[in-house]
Structure 1
Amino acid sequence: MDALLLSRIQFGFVISFHILFPAFTIGLASWLAFCNWRFLRTRDTVWQDIYFFWLRIFAISFGMGVVSGIVMSFQFGTNWAVLSEKAGNILGPVMSYEVLTAFFLEATFLGVMLFGHKRVSEKLHFFATCMVALGTLISMFWILSANSWMQTPQGYTITADGIFEPADWWAIIFNPSFPYRLVHMALAAFITTCLVVGGVSAGYLLRGTHVEAAKRMLRMAVLFAGITVPLQIFVGDLHGLAVGEHQPTKLAAIEGHWEPTQPGAGVPLVVFGLPDSEAERNHYEVAVPRLGSLILTHSWDGDIRSLKEVPREDRPPVAPVFWSFRVMVGLGMLMLLMSAASLWALRRKRLYESRALLRFWRAMTFSGFIALLAGWYVVEIGRQPWVIYGLLRTAQAVSPNVEAGSVIASLAAFGIVYAIVFGAGIWYIVKLVKHGPVPHDPGPQADDGERRPKRPLSVGDDFDDEEIREAR
């Protein structure tokens, strides 16, 4: 295991943690804005209880996302210095736009959102919540623009020293894969949060606790999933067409398509198989003739590039891309089935009494995170061996003076620290979930009779078991 492979493993480890928390907070911030709006519109305190319940979870998740993001950014200077040197003139400004337009916006209003209740007007507090939600979306815009440019680069020139220089910023930011990737990722973030909200509320209904709040949360989750899951499948299809146009080798790896097809024969859809890169074939393959052409090209006899048409050194690792894609699609089909069944049960007024559906929602609570990671692995592993697709290889982007021993040491340190920090954070989130959306306490009385804002994470110490039972 050389420094290149270890650096890839380290970056993959860090980003796998990091992507989960921002994706969750992107959806959660919008969910909080919705709950706050519902309270202001209806003056129903149940919505306020729901808001402050998820606000505490948002605060922890946001903090863990920031911590993991800082660690990830350091690696561009330590492990990937050549990438920073060659592409820094493009990636650096795009990432700085994210700080200027999104991070400052979030930082400005996050304190008001977390600590400003009863210290500012309700409308201003709602405005702060909306601004934080907007900031998460803007942040996603710039991050995905930078990543998408590495997938489908355009709007650049290359100097004699191999340095990428910006030639057209509009072309750089709005590169060919960016619109599809942006919408796909935004929907993935919303669906991930939707499934967590629905799964938690289903758990409450199964136990008979926090029933009123749980019914409202589950109803909103069902309605939202009924819209976003089919929309995500549609956007995913469009994204697949774009991948076939701009990254045909990645598409071949996704489909496990090794052999060139005869004109007019169509591409089969490989449902199951064990890809073997050495033998250049799939073992135990189960395929449906021509269905691949219909899905991938929207034509009965359409064709895509095969892996054997690409030199071995230019192919991505096929097995992880092949299986990650099927995990993502398989979970998407389960989400579609669950949302359709739940909508039917909601229409017939049987949703809250159907223990089978409630168990289904509970089992799918974390499926959004798994699908998110699987999709990200398809995107990033499928890009290999390129870090900037078709232009700069990953092997050429690693820092030349990094030793394998130092990468192993830092990776081990990351593993230990992450286990402690994120283990404690997740433990506290579980503690908050067990308490549930109890009636909101505006805060302790000050000497002058005014209310002081509570610490957003203090809920775990504020209620004893007897008070919780009374609240239920």
Structure 2
Amino acid sequence: MDTLLLSRIQFAANISFHILFPTITIALGWVLLFFKLRFNRTGERKWMDLYLFWVKVFALSFAMGVVSGITMSFQFGTNWPGFMETVGNVAGPLLAYEVLTAFFLEAVFLGIMLFGASRVPGWLHTLATFLVAFGTTMSAFWILVLNSWMHTPAGHELRDGVVYAADWWAIIFNPSMPYRLTHMLLASGLTVAFLIAGLSAYRLLRGDRAAEVATGLRFGVILGAVLIPAQIVAGDMHGLNTLEHQPAKVAAMEGNWETQGNVPLLLFALPDEVARENRLELGIPSMASVILKHDPAGVVPGLDDFVAADGTVLHPPVAAVFWSFRVMVGIGVLMLLVSWGAAFLIWRRGVEGVPRPALMGLTAMSFAGWGATLAGWYTTEIGRQPWLVQGVLTVEQAVGDIASGMVATTLVAYLLVYAALLAAYVGVIFHLARKGGRYDAPVASPGMQPAE
């Protein structure tokens, strides 16, 4: 393997590990705020017990996200110096905004959120929870602004091969940013919904009948059932936006080689890039045209349009994009079936009447959001190839001149450490669930002085 491929794999490994944890903290911060507001309003201890349990998960996820994010950022200088050399005038300020408006906000108020329930007035603890939740969302906003700009660059000008900002509003609100931000926020909400439902189901399976367990299961299932239809609509809109600005990516997602109408929606196929055709196709006639053009005869771009006259391929690797997209959609459909099925059971039988197989299914889906997020991320990022910044900078132009052996060595080290950390993280999460129990620490009520 050469330096370019190894560096791509290394960065993919880093960002794959990192994205798992913001995917939890972005939505979990708002869920914690909801739990706290419900406690403030009702005075029911179960809501505070939910808060005190899930704030531990938030803290652990936040710590893992910060550490892995720092490691990832160093690769801009070590593996991809051409990125900052070319687009640093845009990327640098956006990353700085993320630190100044989001990370500092989270870091300052996280301590109050974690340890202040019995030490500060209730209103201040609630405010700290809100500010941390707001900070996680602002962090997602700035990172997705940069990522979206890399896919649909706007508001810049190129001078002597270097990008300069010409219109910051156009840069920030680039054509794909609203769709990517919405899609990611909903993905985070679904990840948290299934994590809460799954761990609550796990606690029920172990015989934990505390009031907050049933409430947590009901909350997670309902949240998932509400968000998954919204995600399907947002995903469709995002796909139409991608078709407009990155047609080669959509062609790879659909496994469509020739520009034509009546394109089938392929459920299964084996793309062959050498023969430039699909083998063993199984699809629904004209459905891809219906989805993408809202017309059975709608013309969908084909991959053959993205091959230069000299034979240079200007579209992404087809099989990777084709299958990662189907994994994402498949998990999304499973989420729909599981959440709606569980919601129906809870409606008809109550939480206590949910059968054991259903609880086992929910437990198995605890980290389903991670699978869908990674598959969607691979679809998006591999689908941008060969570009690092669409139409501006290729990955080959940005890679650093370092020995492949050094990249391979650090890649192996990263993978080993990440595997150990991920196993430890999941183990701790389930350990907390097994421990369960009621939290008897005093809690300050809104507007009152700290509890004794």
Same fold (TM > 0.5): yes
Deviation, structure 1 residue 418: 2.6
2:263 aligned partner: 267
The AA in structure 2 aligned to 1:417 is V
Q: Is 2:217–2:351's contact at 8 Å kept on the other side of the alignment?
A: no
Q: Give the TM-score taking structure 1 as reference length.
A: 0.90
Deviation, structure 1 residue 370: 0.2
Deviation, structure 1 residue 200: 0.8
Q: What does the per-residue CA deviation read over 1:163-199, in whole Å, with 9 as the maximum and x for residues that have no partner?
A: 0000110000111010000000000001001000001
Q: What does the per-residue CA deviation read over 1:367-412, in whole Å, with 9 as the maximum and x for residues that have no partner?
A: 111000000000000000100012211101111x211111112212
1:370-449 equivalence runs, <5 A: 370-399=371-400, 401-442=401-442
Q: 1:419 to 1:300 in 2, by over 3 A?
A: closer
1:91 aligned partner: 91
What is the CA–CA distance in structure 1 between the aligned matches of 2:426 and 2:404, rounded to whole Å?
A: 31
1:468 aligned partner: none
The AA in structure 2 aligned to 1:2 is D
The AA in structure 2 aligned to 1:253 is A
Deviation, structure 1 residue 351: 4.5
1:114 aligned partner: 114
1:363 aligned partner: 364
Q: 1:347 to 1:25 in 2, by over 3 A?
A: same
Deviation, structure 1 residue 279: 1.2
What is the CA–CA distance in structure 2 between the aligned matches of 1:409 and 1:226, rounded to whole Å?
A: 44
* 1:202 maps onto 2:198 in alignment: no
What is the CA–CA distance in structure 1 between the aligned matches of 2:345 and 2:351, rounded to whole Å?
A: 5
What is the CA–CA distance in structure 2 between the aligned matches of 1:203 and 1:178, rounded to whole Å?
A: 37
1:308 aligned partner: 304
Deviates more, 1:203-212 or 1:384-393: 203-212
Q: What does the per-residue CA deviation read over 1:61-107, in whole Å, with 9 as the maximum and x for residues that have no partner?
A: 11010000000000001100011100000000011111111111111
2:8 aligned partner: 8
1:187-226 equivalence runs, <5 A: 187-226=186-225
What is the CA–CA distance in structure 2 between the aligned matches of 1:361 and 1:416, rounded to whole Å?
A: 29
Q: 1:92 to 1:35 in 2, by over 3 A?
A: same
Q: What does the per-residue CA deviation read over 1:254-279, in whole Å, with 9 as the maximum and x for residues that have no partner?
A: 00001232xxx421111110111111
2:174 aligned partner: 175
Deviation, structure 1 residue 151: 0.3
Return 5+ residue gaps in structure 2 as ranges.
444-449
What is the CA–CA distance in structure 2 between the aligned matches of 1:109 and 1:148, rounded to whole Å?
A: 29
Q: What does the per-residue CA deviation read over 1:15-73, in whole Å, with 9 as the maximum and x for residues that have no partner?
A: 00000001111121111111111111111111111111111111111101000000000
Q: 1:220 to 1:231 in 2, by over 3 A?
A: same
The AA in structure 1 aligned to 2:391 is G
What is the CA–CA distance in structure 1 between the aligned matches of 2:291 and 2:425, rounded to whole Å?
A: 42
Instruction: Give the aligned length.
Output: 441
2:228 aligned partner: 229
* 1:142 maps onto 2:142 in alignment: yes
What is the CA–CA distance in structure 2 between the aligned matches of 1:350 and 1:107, rounded to whole Å?
A: 40
SS at match of 2:118: coil
1:238 aligned partner: 237
Q: 1:243 to 1:159 in 2, by over 3 A?
A: same
Q: What does the per-residue CA deviation read over 1:422-456, in whole Å, with 9 as the maximum and x for residues that have no partner?
A: 4433332222121124223349xxxxxx989xxxx
Deviation, structure 1 residue 211: 4.0
Q: 1:428 to 1:344 in 2, by over 3 A?
A: closer
1:457 aligned partner: none
What is the CA–CA distance in structure 2 between the aligned matches of 1:341 and 1:418, rounded to whole Å?
A: 35
SS at match of 1:266: coil
Q: 1:348 to 1:127 in 2, by over 3 A?
A: same
Q: 1:344 to 1:430 in 2, by over 3 A?
A: closer
Q: Is 1:52–1:437's contact at 8 Å kept on the other side of the alignment?
A: no
2:42 aligned partner: 42
1:342 aligned partner: 342
2:328 aligned partner: 328
Deviation, structure 1 residue 347: 2.6
SS at match of 1:313: coil
What is the CA–CA distance in structure 1 between the aligned matches of 2:296 and 2:417, rounded to whole Å?
A: 52
* 1:283 maps onto 2:282 in alignment: no
Q: 1:352 to 1:326 in 2, by over 3 A?
A: farther
SS at match of 1:181: helix
Q: Is 1:352–1:358's contact at 8 Å kept on the other side of the alignment?
A: no
Q: Is 1:351–1:357's contact at 8 Å kept on the other side of the alignment?
A: no
Q: Is 1:229–1:332's contact at 8 Å kept on the other side of the alignment?
A: yes
Deviation, structure 1 residue 419: 3.5
Q: Is 1:27–1:190's contact at 8 Å kept on the other side of the alignment?
A: yes
1:63 aligned partner: 63
Deviates more, 1:360-369 or 1:142-151: 360-369
Deviation, structure 1 residue 350: 4.2
What is the CA–CA distance in structure 2 between the aligned matches of 1:417 and 1:370, rounded to whole Å?
A: 20
> Percent same amino acid among aligned pairs?
50
Q: What does the per-residue CA deviation read over 1:298-348, in whole Å, with 9 as the maximum and x for residues that have no partner?
A: 122111110111115211111111111111111111111122222322332
Q: Give the TM-score taking structure 2 as reference length.
A: 0.94
